[in-house]
Chain A
């Protein structure tokens, strides 16, 4: 049985499937470039964060001399170069730490100093067209000391590609996502019609609001509605799946680094193991939902190719993101795949059943108003969910 509406959506599915497939194949072929031989022994290990607790990322092998060379300009005094990264006391002596004095500093502040300082400088240089170190999506470019102290060579992956994917393509993906969702909501509201729907829009506003909020609230809470309670395992999976999909991208520290770099602010982040845990739970829940969709006849009969595609598209950023963050090897294929699938997911949302991201609220509000005003809300027990 097919769902998914008109012919153009079928065409779109084929296009997306094709692009996704090609993109993943291509990303996976981004083999690590040969390691440039002959670095110096100039490596300072930065592990200052270990004073605050277990490290969430590998330590950093910092090539100090390389940086000095990169920052030197002919005719400039040495001091000027050092002052780029080292603060001075009132006597002109340099503090050892990066951009801080000897005073106490919190873990969060120190982490911010490193990320904003290092990455900010790299990105400014890259924007000016000069060779620069890892940018805001290349965590492992700096966090590069593997087990046993071996330093992973940094693969600067095609700067053009990453710049595109994290630049114009990212803007496009979000524009389509926000614009598309807004369009869906506006189109929804404009298409409501009291004559056709037989719902008294605009009347009994406080009853309507109450009905809408109760309708949304009961279903937004795990086990808040009777049918959630009647299917405890499904509900657990559905909520874990959605919580991971929504919470992790919003509150991942690494994403916050990007936000801080691009917009100058970010909100508090999840601790790293929470992010990992939620991601794994979401993926496990997703697998449960996939198996359920195949195994249960009442779900299988409803299933269309779009359901499989949408689930693949939803799981891909979680899986690729997790691997990209934790992998031992130096290649950027997983990172590129993560960004591409994330962007594809965002673009897909307004045009598929994923539009329930916004339309869940619209539809639930509407049925809440229907029952809350017309079908019982004005009488004793009203409607129950």
Chain B
């Protein structure tokens, strides 16, 4: 069957198609159609020849089959050292095979490759640090996802997610109207506690433009309020755009490169309209990866730089604490054993291991911070990145993979896990639900709000004053 109604090679580009696919609960019909989906071998091989060049080809051919990547991968460790989970094996048996067979692969192969690409790798790039030849299997897996997506062999939620970005320029169906209303609503709600609090929309020339994850307005609008309060406390001149406000990239997880470009362009367009001095990401890892680290290349910027400096929330918090824009009440610092989840996308892949620990030095009472082992750039994936958290079909594999993170957390003896990343946060929440190890977890914002000193002029006036 060349194309199904739900499962086909066409990306979702309209709200109607998006709703139709969403209505297919858990993708039942979608996956049923996938069993009969044709592979367009000519297209596959043509794409490989055009887009798989030196870097990837060389990686595949100079791999010396030493097996040193095995123990670098949390999925290998979590799955009882199953040899089929060795990163080199995973990529050689999928992408390597596609190339060796010049695209002449069948439906069963592609469905298996889909499972490898989305359930046996989160693209955390940890293996890149452990390969003597410098081979990054995570990068190759992401490339493989692109090939599979173009052929229609992608998980249901990934097709929906990419469709969301194409239709709404956000990972969820939050329109500009929804977004602006939510901003207004959150600002209004806080007036009693924070008189004068604003969430300025479309202010031109501000110092800071702030971009978020669509889950925040949709499911956790308090996060927006928290961000606003912290900027308010720090005295920042900031704004959010009415369009181009969302910076995540389920399209990156899906391998829909065109949607990635459209999504990133919408944010950069906002930067161009509002001309902020710099932009700040919310507490999300892959959002930063998609918009700031990979993004510039998708929109044609060869130097890899965003139009203006674009930092991660963690960098702003470290700066605010360092410069005294936010002052912590030492009496309210964290006094229980606490650990930190080093998000792959801004620690391993952006170098913020030190900044994070700088923040912890302000907010944790000395002696209470417990590093995970391994930590910093060597820390393991939370278990849920790369879209893993969201794919129902692969939930059992995700839950198995989380055992490594669970054991790391338990070994620290920490009661609280700080996880300034939406995927890590979700994974650790699910880890607790599944394995009940007795932990709590948090973003930075709620923690900061509990312990930050409020300048008098920002405190609410007692009732009755003029």
A53 to B378 Cα, complex, angstroms: 53
B84 A301 Cβ-Cβ under 8 A: yes
Which of these, B70, B96, B303, contacts A3 with CB under 8 Å?
B96
Which of these, A304, A355, A373, A381, contacts B62 with CB under 8 Å?
A355
- Flag the segment in B5-13, B30-38, B52-60, B232-240 that touches A: B52-60
Residues of A near B76 (CB, < 8 A) are 298
B68 within 8 Å of A (CB atoms)? yes
B395 within 8 Å of A (CB atoms)? no
A88 within 8 Å of B (CB atoms)? no
Contact with B along A8-44 (1 / 0, CB 8 A): 0000000000000000000000000000000000000
Which of these, A298, A376, A385, contacts B350 with CB under 8 Å?
A376
Within 8 A of A (CB), among B301-326: 302-305, 315
A194 to B350 Cα, complex, angstroms: 18
Number of interface residues of A (CB under 8 A): 71
Q: How far is the CB of B350 from chain A (nearest CB, A)?
A: 5
B59 A353 Cβ-Cβ under 8 A: no
A363 B59 Cβ-Cβ under 8 A: yes
B93 A1 Cβ-Cβ under 8 A: yes
Question: Could you tell me the dominant secondary structure of chain B's interface residues?
Answer: helix
Number of interface residues of B (CB under 8 A): 63
B100 within 8 Å of A (CB atoms)? yes
Q: How far is the CB of A63 from chain B (nearest CB, A)?
A: 50
A96 to B119 Cα, complex, angstroms: 82
A92 within 8 Å of B (CB atoms)? no
A173 to B148 Cα, complex, angstroms: 42
B366 within 8 Å of A (CB atoms)? no
Residues of A near B67 (CB, < 8 A) are 296, 298-299, 302
Q: How far is the CB of B392 from chain A (nearest CB, A)?
A: 29
CB closest chain-A residue, reference B377:
A384
CB closest chain-B residue, reference A373:
B304
| A383-B351 contact in complex given A191-B54, A296-B67, C-beta closer than 8 Å | yes
B58 A188 Cβ-Cβ under 8 A: yes
A231 within 8 Å of B (CB atoms)? yes
A226 B134 Cβ-Cβ under 8 A: no
Which of these, B55, B60, B89, B376, contacts A196 with CB under 8 Å?
B55
B62 A5 Cβ-Cβ under 8 A: no
A199 to B297 Cα, complex, angstroms: 8
B62 A366 Cβ-Cβ under 8 A: no
A182 within 8 Å of B (CB atoms)? no
Residues of A near B64 (CB, < 8 A) are 353, 356
Contact with B along A352-385 (1 / 0, CB 8 A): 0101100110111011101101111111111111
B65 A3 Cβ-Cβ under 8 A: yes
Q: How far is the CB of B265 from chain A (nearest CB, A)?
A: 15
| A192-B302 contact in complex given A298-B67, A363-B59, C-beta closer than 8 Å | no
B132 A375 Cβ-Cβ under 8 A: no
A367 B65 Cβ-Cβ under 8 A: no
Residues of A near B92 (CB, < 8 A) are 1, 3, 302
A356 to B100 Cα, complex, angstroms: 20
CB closest chain-A residue, reference B52:
A196
B129 A227 Cβ-Cβ under 8 A: yes
B466 within 8 Å of A (CB atoms)? no
User: Given known contacts A363-B135, A376-B350, what 8 new A-B pairs fall within 8 Å (CB)?
Assistant: A191-B54, A197-B53, A302-B66, A353-B65, A376-B352, A377-B351, A381-B351, A381-B353
* 17 A-B pairs in the complex with CB atoms less than 8 angstroms apart: A6-B102, A197-B53, A198-B294, A198-B298, A200-B297, A200-B303, A200-B304, A227-B72, A234-B66, A238-B132, A299-B65, A299-B67, A301-B84, A353-B61, A363-B58, A374-B293, A376-B377
Q: Which residues of B contact A (CB under 8 A)?
A: 51, 53-55, 57-68, 70-72, 76, 81, 83-84, 86, 88-89, 92-93, 96, 99-100, 102, 125, 128-136, 293-294, 297-298, 300, 302-305, 315, 348-355, 376-378
